[in-house]
Amino acid sequence: MKKFINDPYDVVDEMVEGFQQVHRRYVRKLDTARVLVRADAPVKNKVGIVSGGGSGHKGAFIGFIGQGMLDAVAVGEIFTSPPPLACFEAAKAVNGGKGVLFLLGNYAGDVMNFQLAADMAKVDGIPVEQAISTDDVASAPKQEGSRRRGVVGSFLGWKAGGAKADEGGSLQECKAAVEKVNGNTRTIGVAISPCTVPAKGTPTFTLAENEMEYGVGHHGEPGTAKIKMMTADAVTEKMVMEVIGDLPFTAGDEVALMINGLGGTPHIELYICYRKARQILDAKGIKIGL
């Protein structure tokens, strides 16, 4: 394992310290837990928008703290859910009097810990609602959509909830905005190499030189199949066709197209894939609004 780190067990704390120092005008760290919040939090008479999860997906989650987005993020270890206390402290820090909305991916640890935090917040007199993202089409059949994982589609929910909160929306209105976006969002992932969690020191899975993992989860969860390496155009077409067929998306629809490398894919490659995805959508009469 070759990484620019010190002690593998200090990676997240040192990353958070550096991030906060770079962005000190915009975010601050709580003394009570590993939580980053907007520098001006809590914002009076605004719903607080809180997310969080395991580290290792930069820019998510902490890169999206700010006006019209997240008010706070509870930061977990690499690929590990943040503890309930951190989620609770995040809620307290951003409660401006209109309640707090937890936005989380559909992972057992996140769901459990944020629910415990919600219970703690309610005891403390803070109204809390939750919205769970379920965008990954590879993780469960369409008829079992509630079992699907939340991956990069979560970002669109953060934006919808954050924007509605900044407009002065109620807690229920913010939740409804996020759930509407989630209901219309579909994603799928692919990996050409495994990642290595610093504290573990070994790859999360193995692939032959000529293989890719299709439908992989963003922690390295097994996908739907190991397939032979494909060109950027070929794998992009395979992914786009699966995504648009799931909702389905049809001619005349207006969509937001996001190609996301989860912090691990060079922008050169992402732009090549975006180019092909746009060609496919243009040919099908699906307009890209964003």
57 is catalytic: yes
Q: Tens of pLDDT along 230-286? A: 999 999 999 999 999 999 999 999 999 999 998 889 999 999 999 999 999 999 999
**Mean pLDDT over residues 15-23, rounded?**
98
What is the C-alpha to C-alpha distance for residues 61 and 52, in angstroms, rounded to an integer?
Answer: 6
Please give the mean pLDDT across all residues of the chain.
Answer: 96
Residue-level length of the chain:
290
Return the CATH superfamily for domain 190-288.
Answer: Dihydroxyacetone kinase; domain 2 (3.30.1180.20)
Question: What is the DSSP secondary-structure string of 124-186?
Answer: TT--EEEEEE--BTTSS-GGGGGGPPP-TTHHHHHHHHHHHHHTT--HHHHHHHHHHHHHT--
pLDDT for residue 222:
84
Q: Thinking of the domain 8-183, which architecture would CATH place it in? A: 3-Layer(aba) Sandwich (3.40)
Show me where the domains of the chain are located.
8-183, 190-288
* Model confidence pLDDT, tens digit, residues 35-87: 999 999 999 999 999 999 999 888 899 999 999 999 999 999 999 999 999 99
Nearest residue to 82 (alpha-carbon basis) of 111, 120, 106: 111
- From 23, 218, 219, 267, the catalytic residue: 219
Q: Pick the catalytic residue: 23, 57, 218, 267?
A: 57
Lookup: tokens for 197: 């969690």
Which is more confidently placed, 264 or 178?
A: 178
Any catalytic annotation for residue 267?
no
pTM (predicted TM-score): 0.95
Bridge partner list, 270: none
pLDDT of 197: 85
